[in-house]
Structures are given as C-alpha cells and as structure tokens.
Amino acid sequence: MSRSTNDLKNTVAAFLATVMFSLPALAQEPADGEDRLDTLYAQLSEAEPADAARIADDIALELSKSGSPAMDMLFRRGRAALDKGDLAAADGHFTALTDHAPEFAEGWHLRAVTRARMGLLGPALADLEQALTLEPRHFTALFSLGSLLEELGQDELASRAYMEAGKLHPHDPDILAAQDRLGHVTGGTRL
C-alpha cells in the first residue's frame, strides 16, 4: 500500500471521528426559536414510512435555500451542470457559491458530490466536513460521506455514517439499502 493511500485512510478516519463526536454537541446547540427545519426534522424522526419521503423532500427544499437570489442562481446553475454531467462547470459554480455563501451547507455538500465524481476524494471529504459542521442533521451529506467511505473500502466507517443518516431519516430506501449492504460489518443487522 502506498504512503498516499495510508495517509488518505488516516485522514478519513480522523475526519470521521471528528464529525461523529461533534454531531451530538452541534445538534444540541440552543436555537433562538424553532424554525421550519427543526420542525421538519422532528416530524421526519416520528414519520410513518408513507409520510417520510414528503417530509424529506421538504427538508431538501429548505436546505436548498441560501437566502440570497444571486446565491440561489449559482446553486441552480451548479445543480443543472451536475445533473448534465458537466463536472468542471458544476465545480466552478459550487466553488463560487461556497466562496460567497460559506454558511450555506448544501453548497458544500453538492461541491463534495461533484468533487467525488471528479475523483478528488480528499477535497470531497473536506467539503462534507464543512457541510456537516454547518448542518449536522444533513442526512444526505451523511449518506454521501458513507458512500465515499465505502468507495474507499472503509466499510466500518461507512456503516457508522449510514447509521447516523438512518437515525435522522429511518425510512430512506437508499440508507436502508446501504445498511443492509454493509450488514457484514454489524453482524448482519442494521445499526
């Protein structure tokens, strides 16, 4: 195994440990008042399977709002480029977005997705760290983290990321499939 592969594995392990240990503390920070996202996340944790997808879509819609028309335009352009497979353009739009709206978690998440597809795994991990620091309940970013870790052969760490995502969205079919796929890590049972 090469030195750079070992370094990447050590970086991944340290990153995940930091994120996982930070999630409870970040999630418990007091808020000035319950906002729409707080309400939606609370509803999702209690939702029946039939309602969970709708609530998750509402959360995704809230997470896609930057609060600025110009930043929303960059977000839409980046998303369109990503959907078309134009990764260079998507990366450019999401980089401009994260530069100008560094508190916008979904911009970091989608830049991470873009960079992972480009094979830039270290930068993708750094962007996921930023997204999860800004919004520790971002179950899609946690799922993305699990996918990236699984791709790197870090099944135990991937399983932990999927477990955290599943705590937030217990009925997501992709999360459930990932947990089943890595059942060997947890003795054949979902965490």
Q: Cα(148)–Cα(155) distance, rounded to whole angstroms?
A: 10
pLDDT for the residue 98: 98
In the predicted model, what is the mean pLDDT of the chain? 86
Where exactly are the structural domains of the chain? 49-135, 137-191
Q: How confident is the model at residue 47 (pLDDT cuts 50, 70, 90)?
A: very high
Mean pLDDT of 26-38: 57
* Topology annotation, domain 49-135: 1.25.40
Each residue of 97-140: pLDDT tens digit? 999 999 999 999 999 999 999 999 999 999 999 999 999 999 99
pLDDT for the residue 10: 56
Each residue of 128-186: pLDDT tens digit? 999 999 999 999 999 999 999 999 999 999 999 999 999 999 999 999 999 999 987 76
pLDDT for the residue 188: 46
